[in-house]
C-alpha cells in the first residue's frame, strides 16, 4: 500500500501527514529526527506498538483514559524527562489516540519552552482530527481542554494498520469526526459515507479493503488540511471544525466520560442539525440524512434521558467558544456549508436537547 502524503503549511513552517502502513519503524527517517526521542504512549497502546520504534531515549507510559488528561500527568512527564537528560534538541513522539496526542503535544510545547513534536496517532479519531493542526491541551475539573497551546508537529504518521486493534466502539467514535468533516467541507465525502456501512469488522475480516479505509482517512484529513492552512490559530473558519462539539463536550463531561468523544460529537451533530432546522437555517430532510450516516457507522443519534437538559446547557457555557456572554454554536445550512451563530435563545437550545431525549433510537 503506497503512502498518501498530505502537506500542511502554517505560519512558522510546514509538515507532512503521511497515511500508510508500517510507518513507525522508520520514524527517524520519515520525521527527520536528529536528537533524542521521548516516546509518550499509554497503557493500552504501548504494549501493542512501542516495540516498533526500537530503543528510545525516554519511554513514558501514562494511564489510558480521558480522566488522566491532566496537569498532574504532565508534571510527572516533565520529571521523567529531566531525569532522562532530555534536552532542547530532543523530539517528543506521541503514540496513541487523541488523549496521548493532546498531552504529549502540550508537554512538547512547554518543556524547555518547546521541543520538536511528532504525532503517531493510533485511533481513527486522532488520525482524522486531533493529530492535525497543532492544538494541544489538558482538561481541568471545570471543563475540557481549558489549558493548552498551539504546537505544530514536525510530522504526522498515520499508520492505518493500527486501527485493526481498536474496539468497534473506538472505531465508531472516530467515524463521527469523519462524518463531521464531510458535513462541514466535502459533500462527496459525505455521500461516500451515506452509501455504505463503515464498520471495523469489515476491514478486520478482509484486509484487501484497507486501501478503502486509507483513502477515506486521507479524504477526511484533506478537509481539516484546507481549514487549518486557512486559519491556523482558530480566529475564524477553523472554529467550524467544532461542529457538534459544544453539545458533545457537555454530554461527555456530565457522563463522567462514559460517553466517548465521538459518541458525544455524534449526538452533538444531530443536535446542531435539529437546532439549525428549528431556526430556519436548513431543510427538514437534512437531519434524517445525518442520522442515517451516523447509524451506518454504529453511532448514537439521541441524548441519553438520564442527563439533565439544564445541566447539559450549563456545561455548554464552559465551552472555549463562548465569547463573553454569548455562546457561539456551529450550525449548518446544508452539507458542505456550516456557520457560526451566537446568541441563540436558551429556550431553543433546551428544546432541542429535550426533543432528542424523547425520541429514542
Candidate list 69, 144, 181, 261, residue with the active-site label: 261
Point out the catalytic residue in the list 249, 277, 320, 321: 249
Residue 245 annotated in active site: yes
Question: What percent of the chain is helix, strand and coil (3-state, nearest 5)?
Answer: 50, 20, 30
Is 230 annotated as catalytic? no
Q: Is 92 exposed, middle or buried (0-12, 13-18, 19+ CB in 10 A)?
A: buried
Catalytic residue among 66, 170, 234, 281, which? 234
Question: 233 to each of 136, 221, 226, 354, how far by Cα in Å?
Answer: 12, 17, 13, 34
- Which candidate in 144, 151, 192, 238 is catalytic? 238
Catalytic pick among 24, 44, 69, 135? 135
Q: Which of 170, 177, 252, 281 is catalytic?
A: 177
Active-site residue among 151, 181, 245, 260?
Answer: 245
Q: Is 261 a catalytic residue?
A: yes
Asked about 177 being catalytic, the answer comes back as: yes
Instruction: Establish whether 274 is a catalytic residue.
Output: no
Judge whether 238 counts as a catalytic residue.
yes
Report CA 272 to chain centroid distance, whole Å: 18
Cβ 242 vs Cβ 321: under 8 Å = yes
Nearest of 143, 342, 344, 176 to residue 269 by alpha carbon: 176
Q: Does 354 qualify as catalytic in the annotation?
A: no
Bridge partners of residue 156, in order along the sequence: 17, 119
CA angle 130/136/141 to nearest 5° reads 105
Q: Which 3 state secondary structure label does DSSP give 32?
A: coil
Angstrom distances, CA of residue 238 to CA of 184, 202, 326, 330: 11, 33, 18, 11
**Among this protein's residues, is 234 annotated catalytic?**
yes
Catalytic residue among 242, 260, 263, 291: 242
Instruction: Using the CB atoms, write b or e for 345-355: b if 16+ within 10 Å.
Output: eeeebeebbeb
Quickly tell me which residue has 503535544 as its cell. 105
Active site residue 44: no
Catalytic residue from among 113, 325, 358, 360: 113
Catalytically active residues are 113, 135, 177, 224, 234, 238, 242, 245, 249, 261
Amino acid at each position: 500500500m503506497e503512502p498518501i502524503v498530505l502537506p500542511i503549511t502554517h505560519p512558522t513552517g510546514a509538515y507532512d501527514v503521511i497515511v500508510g502502513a508500517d510507518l513507525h519503524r522508520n520514524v527517524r527517517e520519515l520525521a527527520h529526527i536528529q536528537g533524542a526521542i521521548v516516546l509518550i504512549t499509554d497503557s493500552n497502546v504501548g504494549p501493542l506498538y512501542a516495540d516498533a520504534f526500537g530503543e528510545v531515549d525516554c519511554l513514558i507510559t501514562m494511564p489510558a483514559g480521558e480522566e488522566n488528561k491532566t496537569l498532574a500527568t504532565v508534571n510527572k512527564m516533565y520529571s521523567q524527562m529531566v531525569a532522562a537528560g532530555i534536552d532542547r534538541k530532543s523530539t517528543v513522539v506521541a503514540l496513541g489516540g487523541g488523549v496521548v496526542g493532546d498531552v504529549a503535544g502540550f508537554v512538547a510545547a512547554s518543556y524547555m519552552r518547546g521541543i520538536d513534536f511528532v504525532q503517531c496517532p493510533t485511533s481513527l479519531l486522532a488520525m482524522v482530527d486531533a493529530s492535525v493542526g497543532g492544538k494541544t491541551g489538558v482538561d481541568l475539573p471545570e471543563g475540557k481542554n481549558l489549558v493548552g497551546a498551539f504546537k505544530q508537529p514536525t510530522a504526522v504518521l498515520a499508520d492505518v494498520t493500527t486501527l485493526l486493534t481498536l474496539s468497534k466502539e473506538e472505531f465508531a467514535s472516530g467515524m463521527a469526526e469523519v462524518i463531521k468533516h464531510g458535513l462541514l467541507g466535502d459533500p462527496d465525502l459525505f455521500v461516500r459515507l451515506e452509501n455504505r456501512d463503515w464498520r471495523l469488522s469489515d476491514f478486520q475480516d478482509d484486509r484487501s479493503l484497507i486501501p478503502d479505509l486509507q483513502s477515506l482517512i486521507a479524504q477526511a484529513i484533506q478537509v481539516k488540511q484546507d481549514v487549518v492552512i486557512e486559519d491556523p490559530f482558530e480566529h475564524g473558519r477553523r472554529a467550524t471544525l467544532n461542529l457538534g462539539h459544544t453539545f458533545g463536550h457537555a454530554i461527555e463531561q456530565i457522563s463522567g466520560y462514559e460517553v466517548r468523544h465521538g459518541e458525544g460529537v455524534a449526538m452533538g451533530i444531530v443536535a446542531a442539525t435539529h437546532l439549525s432546522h428549528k431556526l430556519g437555517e436548513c431543510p427538514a430532510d437534512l437531519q434524517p440524512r445525518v442520522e442515517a450516516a451516523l447509524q451506518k457507522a454504529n453511532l448514537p443519534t439521541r441524548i441519553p434521558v438520564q442527563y439533565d437538559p439544564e445541566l447539559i446547557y450549563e456545561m455548554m457555557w464552559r465551552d472555549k467558544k463562548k465569547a463573553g456572554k454569548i455562546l457561539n454554536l456551529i450550525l449548518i445550512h446544508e452539507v458542505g456549508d456550516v456557520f457560526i451563530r451566537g446568541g441563540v435563545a436558551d429556550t431553543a437550545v433546551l428544546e432541542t436537547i429535550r426533543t432528542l431525549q424523547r425520541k429514542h433510537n
